[in-house]
Amino acid sequence: MTERTLILVKPDGVQRGLSGEILRRIEAKGYTLVAVELRQATPELLEQHYEEHVGKPFYEPLVEFMLSGPTLAIVAQGERVIEGFRSLAGVTDPTTAAPGTIRGDLGRQWPTKVLQNLVHGSDSEESAAREIGIWFPGLA
Known binding residues for ATP are 10, 58, 86, 92, 103, 117
Closest approach of ligand CMP to the CB of residue 52, in Å = 8
- Residue 33 in 3-state DSSP? strand
Determine contact, residues 21/118, Cβ cutoff 8 Å: no
Question: Could you say which of 4, 25, 49, 120 is catalytic?
Answer: 120
Residues at the contact surface with ligand CMP, assessed by CB under 6 A: 53, 58, 62, 92, 114-115, 117, 120
Closest approach of ligand CMP to the CB of residue 103, in Å = 10
Q: How far is CA 138 from CA 19, 75, 117, 126, 132, in A?
A: 23, 12, 28, 17, 9
Q: Is 49 a catalytic residue?
A: no
Which residues are annotated binding-site positions? 10, 58, 86, 92, 103, 117
| Active site members | 120
